């Protein structure tokens, strides 16, 4: 419930665009699906992961690799938005007497943090976070006697790319943030259901459960994304949209692990 810098000139320009920016991000993402993946998809399937999950032949080992690499990506996203609140306070030298830097309320208010360049701190605690639920799922697999693999190349590559973007390209970072979290609630859930039916005796993993109404959580994040993008120029918006392909590429490489 904190007011974000809304009265900048950029916001006025954006007001002319009736729909929010999330609609634009969604439209670009939907076109990059294959016809098999989603009704609005326009691409032809190339790799096996681009076919409908109903046709997949997943393996548990592959699925575990996918979960481990997904966790690395969520850990990274969640750490980046968590840390987004902190550097301002440190750089500003505003002493935090208790030495607790993680609670930025001690040293600077939400508004000044949101006005910084870089990743927006308001994407913390959206309720969409997946890192903790994946940790529980991996623990469950361990208890079942599976050995949990180390993160593999696709997850490591995506995590380091996200780190890089967080430092120097907030618009591109937001594109990945949107696609990763929203994809998981749509196609991700279809995949989870398929794998659970084929391999897990229908057990529903924590990865596919949210603490409160998912539709509401998604809407809250859409609202925040729209608000942040109101302060972007058209060029910055286009730059964000153009990043969508990379998001599909990196996520596709991780999805493909399920079939390995």
Contact residues toward ligand HEM (CB under 6 A) are 26, 29, 33, 37-38, 49, 53, 179, 182-183, 186-187, 190-191, 218, 247-248, 251-252, 255
Query: Residue 118 or residue 187: which is nearer to ligand HEM going by CB?
Result: 187
Query: Residue 101 or residue 217: which is nearer to ligand HEM going by CB?
Result: 217
- Helices and strands, number each (H, E), in the chain: 12, 0
Q: Please provide the distance, in angstroms rounded to a whole number, between the alpha carbons at the two ends of the chain.
A: 45
- Smallest gap from Cβ 36 to ligand HEM, in A, equals 8
- Smallest gap from Cβ 152 to ligand HEM, in A, equals 17
- Smallest gap from Cβ 41 to ligand HEM, in A, equals 8
Query: Residue 110 or residue 131: which is nearer to ligand HEM going by CB?
Result: 131
- Smallest gap from Cβ 193 to ligand HEM, in A, equals 11
The secondary structure of residue 27, as a DSSP letter, is H
In whole angstroms, give the CA distance from residue 36 to residue 55: 10
Query: Residue 107 or residue 225: which is nearer to ligand HEM going by CB?
Result: 225
Q: How far is CA 72 from the centre of its chain?
A: 12
- Smallest gap from Cβ 111 to ligand HEM, in A, equals 28
- How many other CB atoms are found less than 10 A from the CB of residue 38? 17
* Three-class HEC string of 94-117: CCCCCCCCCCHHHCCCHHHHHCCC
**Cα–Cα distances in Å, from 101 out to 89, 104, 107?**
8, 6, 8
Q: Is the dihedral of CA 83, 89, 92, 98 positive or negative?
A: negative
Query: Residue 51 or residue 124: which is nearer to ligand HEM going by CB?
Result: 51
- The residue number with the shortest CB distance to ligand HEM is 187
């Amino acid at each position: 419930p904190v007011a974000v810098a809304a009265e900048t000139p950029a916001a006025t320009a954006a007001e002319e665009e009736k729909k929010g920016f999330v609609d634009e991000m969604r439209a670009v993402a939907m076109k990059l699906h294959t016809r098999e993946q989603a009704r609005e998809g326009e691409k032809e399937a190339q790799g096996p992961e681009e076919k409908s999950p109903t046709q997949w032949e997943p393996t548990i080992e592959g699925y575990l690799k996918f979960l481990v690499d997904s966790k690395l990506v969520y850990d990274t996203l969640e750490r980046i938005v968590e840390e987004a609140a902190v550097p301002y306070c440190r750089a500003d030298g505003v002493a935090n007497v208790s030495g607790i830097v993680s609670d930025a309320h001690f040293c600077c208010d939400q508004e000044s943090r949101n006005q910084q360049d870089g990743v927006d701190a308001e994407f913390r605690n959206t309720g969409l976070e997946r890192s903790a639920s994946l940790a529980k799922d991996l623990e469950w697999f361990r208890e079942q006697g599976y050995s949990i693999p180390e993160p593999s190349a696709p997850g490591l590559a995506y995590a380091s790319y996200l780190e890089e973007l967080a430092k120097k390209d907030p618009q591109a970072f937001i594109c990945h943030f949107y696609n990763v979290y929203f994809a998981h609630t749509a196609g991700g859930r279809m995949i989870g259901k398929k794998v659970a039916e084929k391999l897990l005796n229908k057990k529903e993993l924590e990865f596919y459960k949210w603490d409160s109404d998912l539709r509401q959580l998604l809407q809250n994040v859409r609202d925040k994304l729209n608000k942040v993008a109101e302060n972007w120029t058209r060029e910055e918006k286009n730059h964000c949209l153009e990043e969508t392909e990379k998001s599909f590429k990196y996520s596709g490489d991780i999805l493909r692990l399920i079939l390995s």
